[in-house]
Amino acid sequence: MNILNRKNYYASSHTTHGLWISGYALLTLAGLGLYFLFTIHIFNVFGSYLVHLKKLSLCAGIAGTLLLFSRLIERSITRKKHAPAARYNLIRFIRLITIIIIIMIAASILFENWYTAAVSLGLISLLLGFALQTPISSLIGWIYIIIRTPYHVGDRIQIDEFTGDVVEIGYMDTTLWEFGGNYLSNDLPSGRLIRFPNSLVLQSAVFNYSWSQFPYIWNEIPFHVAYESDLKFIEEAIKRIAKESLNQNMDDKIQKLKDYMANAPISKVDIKEYPSVNFRINANTWVEVIVTYLVEPKKASETRSVIIKKVLEQLVQEPTKALFPKSNAR
């Protein structure tokens, strides 16, 4: 997010929070104001309903107060320099806790007998548990996502047959901005949104392509050349072009990954920092030159296209060293 977009985002967020805060302040004043008004003898005309009106107005006032404080906390969190994913999860958690507290306080006010209230809520919870098994499982899945963080908002993931960038993690479901899909052969955004219940995260493996420790994936591109080509020249040219086309700021991430892997209880893994070129004999009697490199997942298609164009432009300029398969000249 560039500086201008960030300023616009915070300005819009500040305006939204201001409107909600004003609305909750009015709700608080209205609820508490009505509660104290109902204590005046003139309202005794409502008879037995007056007690219920007092309770409802008091609940509205307390709910408005709690919601007001939660919005103030959210605005404070938004202003601080938290990571977007951490800020998103923290705000969602605060909202859930606020609603739970409001329900508990409202139950204690509306029900004078706690035992009766507990039994009633217990029976209702039991019935709802049978009727709403999937939503409850999805809510548990949301808690799992918040605690274990298999993915954050903005991550590129694959879960079950769904692949995409996470744009929202709700209490019941997660929304992905699909990439690839049925109508594309590459990893560009398809324009479709995918929603799946959070309970799926408890049943399926999650592939996260945006791991914070190492936000890169290995990618490869095959080029086909004839046997008579100067393979050393081709190797050096492809390595140079691939290195020039890649992000030059990944060295720190690679070193962090090496340190992480060194402390992990697994066999030593050879992590290559720079593009590598390998050769393989193709079944159609030509040589495959395969360049393997690290790339950010969301830039994979763009980087692949850049490397292919630059490599082909370079090789075409050296027809005596880079020979391409043609008719029976393999």
Give burial (CB, 10 Å; 0-12/13-18/19+) of 72.
middle
Q: How far apart are CA 170 and CA 178, in angstroms?
A: 17
User: What ranges in the chain are assigned the alpha helix state H?
Assistant: 3-37, 49-79, 84-110, 114-131, 133-148, 231-245, 251-263, 300-316
Q: How many CB atoms lie under 10 A from the CB of residue 144?
A: 15
- The tokens for 199 are 């309970």
| Low pLDDT (below 70) residues in the chain | 1-15, 17, 41-47, 81-83, 85, 112-133, 247-253, 256, 260-273, 327-330
The predicted-structure confidence for 41-81, as pLDDT tens digits, reads as follows 666 666 677 777 888 888 888 888 888 888 888 888 777 76
Q: How far apart are CA 188 and CA 211, in angstroms?
A: 19
Q: How far apart are CA 87 and CA 96, in angstroms?
A: 14
DSSP category for residue 298: G
213 in Cβ contact with 257 (< 8 Å) = yes
- With a CB cutoff of 8 Å and minimum separation 6, the contacts of 242 are 275, 291, 293, 307, 311
Identify the structural domains of the chain with CATH numbers, from first to last: 3-112 (no CATH), 148-208 (2.30.30.60), 217-316 (3.30.70.100)
Q: What is the pLDDT of residue 313?
A: 92
The predicted-structure confidence for 5-25, as pLDDT tens digits, reads as follows 444 444 455 567 677 788 888
User: How many residues are present in the chain?
Assistant: 330
